[in-house]
Amino acid sequence: MPTLTLVQAVNDALKTAMRRDKSVLVFGEDVGPKGGVFLATEGLTTEFGKERCFDTPLSEDGIVGAAIGMAINGLRPVAEIQFQDFIFPAFDQIVSEAAKLRYRSGGQYTAPMVIRTPYGGGIRGGLYHSQSGEAYFCHTPGLKVVVPSTPHDAKGLLLASIEDPDPVLFLEPKALYRSIKEEVPEGHYTVDLGTLRGVREGKDCVVFCYGAMVPVAVKAAEQAAELGHEVRVVDLRTLLPLDEEGVLEHAKQVGRVVVLHEAPRFCGFGAEISAMIAENAIEYMDAPVVRVTGFDTPFPNTLEHHYLPDARRVLDAIERVMAY
């Protein structure tokens, strides 16, 4: 079983899907012979030809609009947006067209397409290459929003997304592209969308997280263990659809909850987790839900290490809920 980085697992998933299904094609800015900014599509044009992996003009709305047309007509497009920060020119195509196609056509048409894009901080990209915009899209019925945190999940979730009958926004945490490695099965396998992943066991507190914040949560949990706190870490993996029953079950079992993400706090995804628990499991809670997030400011460059949540901030939150 090969050992892959997360970006290599993405590349392997794309090759696996394209070998299995000739209707799968990949396109975007510089994804062809160059292989993409992060080399996620390296080698695809060589193996599958420029008809199935090709460069596009610098037009995000054109990229997504073309993908919608292809999906309606029987193809399985995988469109890459070079950085998630650049996705907003295509916002209308995603939320008004792709997400609503099944509903507006009464089920006659669907949009089986994937929009891959690296998101988040960790590479000192500054305010135009570091944003985390998942909450914008989680507010849109008809979309699926997926965020892997390991190479194994990156491959399995991406293959499941490509095979899904509805549009999927696949957010890849660029901070983890090459910082972690693990064994990844060869060939085809999928990880079901809408499922959680238990990362670490614990009975005193649970940290819900996703993407690049998963290893941060694990580090904080290890530090909490030195203080006598057994902290559970749960990777949400799919934000939309969210495994709500799974979230509530973990919250009820433990009674103390921390929610962690690097996006800004106000109206961030953590607010939905907090509200869900307040509405459905408040009688099981021994402390208020505490959120650890990025700040409500543009993403800074030189102060990136202050903006991004770290293990110290997560540990502070764990101690707060444990002391309540």
Read off the pLDDT of residues 150-187 as tens digits, 9 standing for 90 and up: 999 999 999 999 999 999 999 999 999 999 999 999 99
In the numeric block, which tokens belong to residue 52? 């199935």
Whether residue 110 contacts residue 163, with contact meaning beta carbons closer than 8 Å, is answered with no
State whether 121 and 163 are in the same domain: yes
User: What is the spatial distance between Cα 187 and Cα 189, in angstroms, rounded to a whole number?
Assistant: 7
Task: Summarize the confidence of residues 291-295 as an average pLDDT.
Answer: 97
Residue 279 lies in a domain: yes
Catalytic annotation, pick one of 129, 152, 229, 250: 129
What's residue 227's pLDDT? Answer: 95
Do 30 and 89 sit in the same domain of this protein? yes
262 inside domain: yes
Task: Looking at the structure, tell me whether residues 153 and 122 fall in a common domain.
Answer: yes
pLDDT of amino acid 230: 98
- When pLDDT is cut at 50, 70 and 90, the band that residue 238 belongs to is very high
Domain end: 154, 183, 212, which one?
Answer: 183
Same domain as 293, residue 254: yes
For residue 79, give Cα distances in angstroms to 92, 200, 210, 229, 285.
16, 34, 22, 44, 42
**Cα gap 126→130, rounded to integer Å:** 6
CATH no. for residue 274?
3.40.50.920
Has residue 321 got a pLDDT over 90? yes
Residue 70 lies in a domain: yes
Are the C-beta atoms of 154 and 148 separated by less than 8 Å?
yes
Question: Within this chain, do residues 142 and 236 fall inside the same structural domain, yes or no?
Answer: no
- Whether residue 191 is contained in a domain is answered as no
Do the domain assignments include residue 188?
no
pLDDT in tens, 67-91: 999 999 999 999 999 999 999 999 9
Q: Identify the pLDDT of residue 287.
A: 97
Q: What is the pLDDT of residues 38-75, one digit of tens each?
A: 999 999 999 999 999 999 999 999 999 999 999 999 99
Q: What is the mean pLDDT of residues 277-292?
A: 98
Is residue 7 in some structural domain?
Answer: yes
Last residue of a domain, one of 183, 216, 246: 183
For residue 282, pLDDT over 90 is answered with: yes
Domain extent, residue 216, equals 197-323
Q: Is residue 76 part of a domain?
A: yes
Question: How many domains does the chain contain in total?
Answer: 2
**Does one domain contain both 120 and 168?**
yes
Looking at 158, 183, 208, the residue that finishes a domain is: 183
Same structural domain for residues 229 and 263?
A: yes
Q: Is the whole-model pTM more than 0.75?
A: yes
188 is catalytic: no
Mean pLDDT score across all residues of the chain: 97
As a whole number, mean pLDDT of residues 89-110 equals 96
> Taking 90 as the threshold, does the pLDDT of residue 302 lie above it?
no
Tell me the CATH number at 155.
3.40.50.970
pLDDT of residue 145: 98
Rg (C-alpha) for the chain, rounded Å, is 19
Domain shared by 98 and 167, yes or no: yes
For residues 159 and 238, state if they share a domain.
no
Could you tell me where the beta strands, DSSP code E, fall in 58-126?
Answer: 76-80, 114-119
Is 192 a domain residue?
Answer: no
